[in-house]
Structure 1
Amino acid sequence: MTATALQLPLPLREQAALRDGWLDRRITDLLPGFMDEAGIDLWLVVGREYHEDPVLMTMLPATWLSARRRTVLLLHRTADGVAPLAVSRYPVGSFASVWDPAQDRPGDSHERAQWAAVRRAVDRIAPRVVGIDVSPTFAHADGLAHTDHELLLAELGPWAERVVPAEQLAVRWLETRLPEEIAAQHTMNALVHATIDEAFSPAVITPGSTTALDVAWWIRQRFHDLGVDPWFQPTVDVQRPGLPGPTEHAVVEAGDLLHCDVGLRTLGLTTDTQRNAYVLRAGETAPPAGLAAAHVVGNRMQDLVTAAMLPGRTGDEVLAAARAVAGAEGIDGDVYSHPVGVHGHGAGPAIGMWDAQDGVPGAGSARLHTDTTWALELCVRVPVPEWGGHVVRMALEQGIALTAEGVSYLDGRQTVLMTL
């Protein structure tokens, strides 16, 4: 699928068919390699209705908006690939049911019968290593609830000795994108960019009347009207001389620097974007040169981070490399980039956090892989001569894809300040 083949928003029925097709391909094409990397030949993913493992939600049919009762999935690495199996009272998409009610013991409760069915399936598979979703580092890979954890280990009996955390497997599953998914994220970013273009225009903003909060709610409403969801409340803030810093609680005035932070969710994927605009004063045809130059510095910081994003490096190594060159060039800035895919703040390496510029314990030691998508998020601080040396915080965030060909921007990046 090319980036232009997908038109958003899709009707819900088409979305479901697309997502279910992706799921089948991910299990067939991606999961065997991930299980081999992790050394796990049976992956148990367990969740209950309204208390779902984050991984479980990515494996359910698109028509399932939650688990049903307790849903137990067994991903078995076979010589031919991965066999997706389910122990559930309800059919789970393309997962083959391995719960035969005829084998239930008379008098057993639903719960007891289900756990017994799990044990029978594990006995038949006789796995060497069983992976479960527990992790001290990634919340996305820590979805096995305490109660289910205890019940599962008790039911597994001697197989419990072969249980290991599936953190690496869960992260690889969540962070890796099919080419079709990357193409969809390209189109999703285009939709975000178009929405921001409209939000930062005279069609929405009347200087002296419109507030930054008005614009944020306009974006939220626009997403709703388009049939896509935000994954966080959009924010819009203002900077100008005399204000102590960016503020969301101001009326937009001519001469202001506007900034937004926006993310949408559709097709089971997310985006995360920040862009900047200048409100022209009467007689102006371009932003002050100092503001335009500050944005160029932000673009340079983006270049330094993407140049350091080499597969196999850890997030902390990318952060250190980018910041070292930035320091040598006299750039004052912070880097806090993160994977973005199924989740907005996705599973995978953290390249800094706004309050952790020397490395991120745990997540910063994870290594970069190809076929992943990211929010390239950072800021620079630059004094603006036309504003009496007032320091602006130029914050940028743009979706990117890291593939075997290198880093590419999803629907391009902002290289000049927008004006209105």
Structure 2
Amino acid sequence: MTATLQQVPLPLREQAEVRDRWLAHRLTALLPGWMDDAGIDLWVLVGREYHEDPVLSTMLPATWLSARRRTVLLLHRTAGGVDALAVARYPVGVFRSAWRPEDDDPAATQGDAQWAAVRRAVDDAAPQRIGIDVSATFAHADGLSHTDHEQLLAALGPWAERVVPAEELAVRWLETRLPEEVAAQHAMNALVHTTIDEAFSRAVVTPGTTTALDVAWWIRQRFHDLGVDPWFQPTVDVQRAGLPGVHEDLVVEPGDLVHCDVGLRTLGLTTDTQRNAYVLRPGETAPPAGLVAAHAVGNRMQDLVTGAMVPGRTGDEVLAAARAGAAAEGIDGDVYSHPVGHHGHGAGPAIGMWDAQGGVPGTGQAVVHTDTTWALELCVRVPVAEWGGQVVRMALEQGIALTAAGVDYLDDRQTRLILL
């Protein structure tokens, strides 16, 4: 782990420097191989201000908070690597400018002149296969808008016959993590875990007074004060003996099982975490044995999923193997794990969804790769004797990295209930 990434968040200027360094490395060291694997020698990305292609937005300079006017990026696979070109009104970071609007015919509209510049760049590249971001499976790879799609094809002329979907390439770009990015996600998960520990403490929760919703808003405010952003509204819920179900609108009371689901964003990366706490009753020093056992079953379900995460398997194959292992051990649970990277629900294979335990059409057929990070998300249902046999839904979610060495828990997983 690099010294600068051992703690987050970094000051904004340092974040920009780190992100731009990552981008330059990915373009030069990784993209050529991915383009070869996908059989694409020219990748064209188009986005307009406030309507960015999800992939294009990850290639913009860190100081760009959106595209500017229409931004067109062309990535040309050459014998020496990838030639990164920008056909845009303004310079685009490490991309070499392929258009000088001031050189255009003053009578031409800027839109026509820009598309003409795109055509000239394509003529120069003379590609065999042109990748564009259209996909019926992954929203992340479907970022080319209808209007830009039509105008791009018109500008390409005869080259339009060589256009193919760039889905495989877009997913690899988004799902793959550099070692430094994994280090950053370790630190990000540590920050999340520390924040949850603080939220699930008497410094924040006064049993009998504080509601689950109060705790959720405290977490969101804490993220804001720390200088990081949530990528979804935090949720906190309660399960209670004698009150079946999961509830987000209750006052927290002694004897409750309290659960949270939170995720933050910084450095262009995200986290997704769920943890559980028990509110001690007066005189108690430990949770009921049944809740402890239920959490241990959840940890065992995690082991079954990570053990099934073999590179080369599809998400559906991982799901089937994990569920078969659970069935053999008598575990009642669901698996709905997903990649996490630039996006919280990231590009890459879905390993189940809460409402699709038999496999996920489309995204479940994607293949698991190394150098990816995941939210290991699942739940188990266990009857608790101390609660009169009431079934508790123990939900866990933990960041993990999958590398050639295997699965690494990001800042370790929860193996014991937090005591509140």
Q: Tell me the CA shift for residue 243 of structure 1.
A: 2.0
Indicate whether 1:91 and 2:91 are aligned: yes
Q: Tell me the CA shift for residue 242 of structure 1.
A: 2.5
Letter in 2 for 1:180: E
RMSD of aligned residue pairs (Cα, Å): 0.9
Letter in 1 for 2:153: L
**Structure 1 equivalent of residue 154 of structure 2:** 154
Q: What do residues 146-170 of structure 1 show as CA deviations (whole Å, max 9, x unaligned)?
A: 0000000011011000000000000
User: 1:380-399 to 2 correspondence within 5 Å?
Assistant: 380-399=380-399
Indicate whether 1:242 and 2:242 are aligned: yes
Q: Structure 1: how far apart are the matches of 2:104 and 2:91?
A: 18
Letter in 1 for 2:255: G
**Structure 2 equivalent of residue 117 of structure 1:** 117
Residues 3, 183 of structure 1: 8 Å contact kept: no
Q: Tell me the CA shift for residue 264 of structure 1.
A: 0.1
Q: Tell me the CA shift for residue 106 of structure 1.
A: 3.8
Q: What do residues 30-76 of structure 1 show as CA deviations (whole Å, max 9, x unaligned)?
A: 11111011000000000000110000100000000000000000001
Residues 141, 167 of structure 2: 8 Å contact kept: yes
Indicate whether 1:217 and 2:217 are aligned: yes
Runs (5+) with no aligned partner, structure 1: none
**Structure 2 equivalent of residue 305 of structure 1:** 305
**Structure 2 equivalent of residue 10 of structure 1:** 10
Q: Structure 2: how far apart are the matches of 1:84 and 1:272?
A: 32
| TM-score normalised according to structure 2 size | 0.99
Residues 3, 184 of structure 1: 8 Å contact kept: no
Runs (5+) with no aligned partner, structure 2: none
Letter in 1 for 2:418: M
Residues 89, 101 of structure 2: 8 Å contact kept: no
Letter in 2 for 1:12: L
Q: Tell me the CA shift for residue 83 of structure 1.
A: 1.0
Aligned residues: 420
User: 1:70-149 to 2 correspondence within 5 Å?
Assistant: 70-101=70-101, 103-149=103-149
**Structure 2 equivalent of residue 413 of structure 1:** 413
Q: What do residues 313-370 of structure 1 show as CA deviations (whole Å, max 9, x unaligned)?
A: 0000000000001001100000000000000000000000000000000000000000
Q: Structure 1: how far apart are the matches of 2:415 and 2:141?
A: 36
User: 1:360-371 to 2 correspondence within 5 Å?
Assistant: 360-371=360-371
Q: Tell me the CA shift for residue 244 of structure 1.
A: 2.8
**2:26 partner SS:** helix
Residues 348, 368 of structure 1: 8 Å contact kept: yes
Letter in 2 for 1:141: A
Residues 349, 366 of structure 2: 8 Å contact kept: yes
**Structure 2 equivalent of residue 257 of structure 1:** 257
Letter in 2 for 1:9: P
Q: Structure 2: how far apart are the matches of 1:110 and 1:399?
A: 46
Q: Tell me the CA shift for residue 103 of structure 1.
A: 4.9
User: 1:260-279 to 2 correspondence within 5 Å?
Assistant: 260-279=260-279
Q: What do residues 86-127 of structure 1 show as CA deviations (whole Å, max 9, x unaligned)?
A: 000100001000113365234110100000000000000100
Indicate whether 1:292 and 2:298 are aligned: no
Q: Structure 1: how far apart are the matches of 2:2 and 2:193?
A: 19
**Structure 1 equivalent of residue 197 of structure 2:** 197
Q: Tell me the CA shift for residue 9 of structure 1.
A: 1.5
Q: Which moved more, 1:45-54 or 1:102-111?
A: 102-111
Letter in 2 for 1:380: V
Q: Structure 2: how far apart are the matches of 1:383 and 1:166?
A: 47
**Structure 1 equivalent of residue 50 of structure 2:** 50
Residues 352, 359 of structure 2: 8 Å contact kept: yes
Q: Percent identity?
A: 82
Q: Structure 2: how far apart are the matches of 1:63 and 1:106?
A: 30
**Structure 1 equivalent of residue 379 of structure 2:** 379
Residues 104, 113 of structure 2: 8 Å contact kept: yes
